[in-house]
Amino acid sequence: MYRTLKRVEEHERAGVLVAANFKTVKRLLASRYTVVSALVTPAWLEKLEPQLRARTEAELPVYVAEPKLLETITGYVMHQGALAVAKIPPLPDFETLLNNSPRPLLLAAVESIASAENLGAVVRCCAAFGVHFLIVGETCGSPFQRRAVAGSMGTIFEQPLVRVDNLVATLTALRARGVRCLAAHPRPGAKNLAKVNLRGDCCLVFGAEGPGLTEAVLAACDDAVEIPMPSHMNSLNVAVATGVFLYEATRQRG
């Protein structure tokens, strides 16, 4: 797995993910994910050894290599000499997460995000602001890609999420249960984020880096909401926008 870091589809088919920096590996070792193996430099072995020894796996191979050899194995320059492979656990289903989440609900949903780094940063925002669970639509990339895991800074190991086959149907089901679905989308008639009540059950919906949300997903939401900007700009990077929306929601909730 360490020699195929750029072939992320192979990893997901094998049911594993790769943590590829020191902080992410530390979070992985502190999590309930099953760790398959680790690959570290001698210096990082010394730092990680207590956590590695504390793991409960019956057998956990730890490979140790000098930085140059590690770079030969992985095929690229390693800024941090620590990697680990873990099994992707079975994800909970939508109904289970919905029924087990406390009220008022704070959910987020994403559609068509192509950048693994952006998707990982969205996961990190959700973890930072206490989102009960993240809904990953069918047209999004995998949040378990190596770059997404790194972009989340390992919060993927804590943040509940669900992948759905039909985001429009999922949003429709939420609205039927009284959850307001709010599209983060600047367009004529969009409401000002600062003036929208986010204290009740709500799901904030974020779209692709370029075009934003599709018309079908917009139609499945209650309202479109935009971040007020006193400039000629009318949009932000999707991960930044996620952070702004979630901050406002948690601010309103005290």
For 212, the 3-state DSSP assignment is strand
The CATH architecture to which 8-87 belongs is: 2-Layer Sandwich (3.30)
| pLDDT at residue 205 greater than cutoff 80 | yes
Q: Where does the pLDDT of residue 155 fall: very low under 50, low under 70, confident under 90, or very high at 90 and above?
A: very high
Q: What is the pLDDT of residues 175-204, one digit of tens each?
A: 999 999 999 998 889 999 999 999 999 999
The dihedral through the CA atoms of 79, 80, 86, 92 has a sign that is negative
What are the boundaries of each domain within the chain?
Answer: 8-87, 94-252
The burial of 174, by beta-carbon neighbours within 10 Å (0-12 exposed, 13-18 middle, 19 or more buried), is given as buried
| pLDDT at residue 79 greater than cutoff 80 | no
What is the value of pTM for the model shown?
A: 0.96
CATH number given to 94-252: 3.40.1280.10
Q: How many other C-beta atoms are found inside a 10 Å radius of the C-beta of residue 204?
A: 26
CA distance 212 to 111: 8
**For residue 76, what pLDDT is reported?**
81
